[in-house]
Structure 1
Amino acid sequence: MVTALNWIGIFPFTLYDTDWVGKEIYGGQAMGTPEQINLYHDGVRAGAFGLMFYVAVMGFISLFLELFIRLLGNVSRLWSVCNFIVAICMGMTVVISSMAENARDANGNALVHPPTEVKASCFALFAVLGIPQAVTYSIPFALASIYSKDGTTGQGLALGLLNLAIVIPQIIVTLISGPLDALFDGSNLPAFIWGGIAAAIGGIAAFKLPPAESHSNMQI
């Protein structure tokens, strides 16, 4: 369940991150005037640049997961904390979008790039999201192996069920987030908020997981 909630939390942003930057942050439109389209494309490129920070942080954090596990006491606590980070970041998309909108209003809705502080906030959000993503790509699989190692079902079945807990939420998000965005005039924020709520619930659920055996000796 925690894995499913985790992916419901992060997958809307994975789907629409560059689109969010193009529309909500840069104020462009994928289908509009030439100026709006150019601004949208600039935003998409900026979002792709933000993904570089996202991946760099994810790779860096993955090197220190064992240290974080030791500091927090067990794997479940780390997973819980990272779910809450996702929830906070999804909430911050609303704040950053509001900052960008206020900046456009101050400029008389001119089709110009957002100010530096808005861009910096956007890139910082991408970077911070790399932290929970490093956990998402490793900890659930490690926990599934640990919890099933002494069971009769075996690790193969456990990992297969874990993959279903990843794929099914992705399908659900894909089917729902598009119509949800259309309902709110193409805004990505409703899907992000929905994801943030799911991530927060996942954080609570992860905190209540029983401690994994031999977590202090686990190599990620």
Structure 2
Amino acid sequence: MEPCNRREMTRPEIQVRHSNRPRVRPPTRAPPPARSKVPLKWLFRVASVAGGIQFGWALQLSLLTPYVQELGIPHAWASWVWLCGPLSGLLVQPLVGHMSDHCKSRFGRRRPFIVAGSISIVIAVLIIGHAADIGRLLGDSMVSRPRAIVVFVLGFWLLDVANNVIQGPCRALLADLTGKDQRRTRIANAYYSLFMAVGNVLGYATGSYSGWYLTRPIWIILIVTALTWIGWFPFLLFDTDWMGREIYRGKPNEGKNYHMGVRMGSFGLMLNSVVLGLTSVVMEKLCKKWGAGLVWGISNILMSLCFITMLIISHLAANIEYTRDDLPPEGIVIAALVVFTVLGAPLAVTYSVPYAMIATRIESLGLGQGLSMGILNIAIVIPQVLVSVGSGPLDQLFGGGNSPSFAVAAVAVFASGLIAILALPRLYVQKHSVLV
């Protein structure tokens, strides 16, 4: 065998050979994506929480020291009640801040604490505002009110703790949203300061104005109004859709039945408006004869019966066969149109009686009519928001039809009718007024 010509390479040769090879660079990681800036309107919305917080602080600073003395706490001891503020700030804010830093909630780190603090503030304000009443229920006399004092102190301390629960996470949320951008951090805190000023203005204005109290009769009007609009709003939202979807069994963008139903529903609303106008003409005579509260109550119960009739019509329409060109029987359509028409009478009452009642009652208290209309509008808008948010998921939960919303409407309106019949005539039928 021939000797092998291969020889061992020396170390310098190995180094030279390796140095001639192309170097393979390790794969580089892509830089992290740049964090998009949060819109300023988001920072504005988050900072608006400060308005509510400061509103509560302003009311405390201006009114609660006089209030505790009216309950019977001596002036020398009044400052001890305020001890909760610094103590809760010393203990609660660092603790809540640390907990929110490590919170793993799917709603975010800060939001659960802000929501919990807001609910606690509502509870605390109700306790403080009704401390004397709660104490009386627990056994206080008109002279000695120790139980009311205890209830008040508990509510006051809860309010301070709740305010501190919100403040820390709210500030931290602003810092989360702005990051290291110093300019946006300054803007966010300027927004926060602005809403603190707004809250102070509103809080101190409330403390300086003596006409904010609305009496029990006004509360009854507002409650009846709110329940009435829980009934009306589903109908106003879904009336023509109900006719097209559940009476004509149509679907949007599928065939002609849905659009035929919508047109028939519009015809029913036209008849509804005719009855509304005719009822408005005789409204004064009805209220003069029976009393506005009784007229309102009867009209709401009539409205509840109409909604129940709509549920029955929906059930019948879903369980009978349509034979003539897949269109509903004439009896079903006529029944639906009759319901639409009859609802014009309760709508006329809703458009007139509550406004007359609230305006007259506010006038007797010496308050402005603009304020009375604003107060009544709150009782209308809040139910509309609730119905707008809740009716869609509720209907979807029970199959996607409109019947669940109409069922809730029927119950709410029936309850409002009973309240109006039982409470409003006794409070509002007067000798020298037609609608009150």
**Scaled by the length of structure 1, what TM-score is found?**
0.90
Alignment correspondent of 2:341: 127
Percent of residue pairs bearing the same amino acid type? 40
Higher relative contact order, chain-length normalized (CA < 8 Å, sep 6+) = 1
* 1:38-53 equivalent positions in 2, closer than 5 A: 38-53=256-271
Change in 2 beyond 3 A, CA 1:115/1:123: same
1:167 pairs with 2:381: yes
Structure 2 SS opposite 1:103: coil
For 2:404, which of 172, 190, 215 is the aligned residue?
190
In structure 1, C-alpha distance between the alignment counterparts of 2:367 and 2:435, rounded to whole Å = 23
Structure 1 SS opposite 2:365: coil
Larger Rg: 2
Paired residues in the alignment total 212
Query: Does structure 1 retain, via aligned residues, the 8 Å contact 2:244–2:258?
Result: yes
Query: Does structure 2 retain, via aligned residues, the 8 Å contact 1:75–1:211?
Result: no
Alignment correspondent of 1:100: 317
In structure 2, C-alpha distance between the alignment counterparts of 1:180 and 1:111, rounded to whole Å = 32
Deviation (angstroms), 1:69 = 1.3
Structure 1 SS opposite 2:310: helix
In structure 2, C-alpha distance between the alignment counterparts of 1:112 and 1:52, rounded to whole Å = 25
* Structure 2: runs of 5 or more not aligned: 1-222
One-letter code aligned to 2:330: T
1:78 pairs with 2:295: yes
In structure 1, C-alpha distance between the alignment counterparts of 2:316 and 2:431, rounded to whole Å = 42
Alignment correspondent of 2:350: 136
* Structure 1: runs of 5 or more not aligned: none
Query: Does structure 1 retain, via aligned residues, the 8 Å contact 2:301–2:414?
Result: yes
For 1:89, which of 272, 292, 306 is the aligned residue?
306
Query: Does structure 2 retain, via aligned residues, the 8 Å contact 1:39–1:111?
Result: no
Query: Does structure 2 retain, via aligned residues, the 8 Å contact 1:29–1:39?
Result: yes
Query: Does structure 1 retain, via aligned residues, the 8 Å contact 2:228–2:412?
Result: yes
1:176 pairs with 2:394: no
In structure 2, C-alpha distance between the alignment counterparts of 1:195 and 1:164, rounded to whole Å = 19
For 1:7, which of 204, 224, 229 is the aligned residue?
229
1:162-205 CA distances to partner (integer Å, 9 max, x unpaired)? 01111111111111111111112220000000011000111111
Structure 2 SS opposite 1:211: helix
1:61 pairs with 2:279: yes
For 1:19, which of 217, 237, 241 is the aligned residue?
241
In structure 1, C-alpha distance between the alignment counterparts of 2:431 and 2:396, rounded to whole Å = 45
Query: Does structure 1 retain, via aligned residues, the 8 Å contact 2:287–2:435?
Result: no
Deviation (angstroms), 1:216 = 6.2
Change in 2 beyond 3 A, CA 1:175/1:111: farther
1:65-93 CA distances to partner (integer Å, 9 max, x unpaired)? 01211332x10000111111111111111
Structure 1 SS opposite 2:427: coil
Query: Does structure 2 retain, via aligned residues, the 8 Å contact 1:50–1:127?
Result: yes
Change in 2 beyond 3 A, CA 1:216/1:125: farther
In structure 2, C-alpha distance between the alignment counterparts of 1:22 and 1:40, rounded to whole Å = 4
Deviation (angstroms), 1:22 = 0.6
1:90-116 CA distances to partner (integer Å, 9 max, x unpaired)? 111111112222333x64xx8621111
For 2:330, which of 116, 136, 142 is the aligned residue?
116
In structure 1, C-alpha distance between the alignment counterparts of 2:361 and 2:242, rounded to whole Å = 38
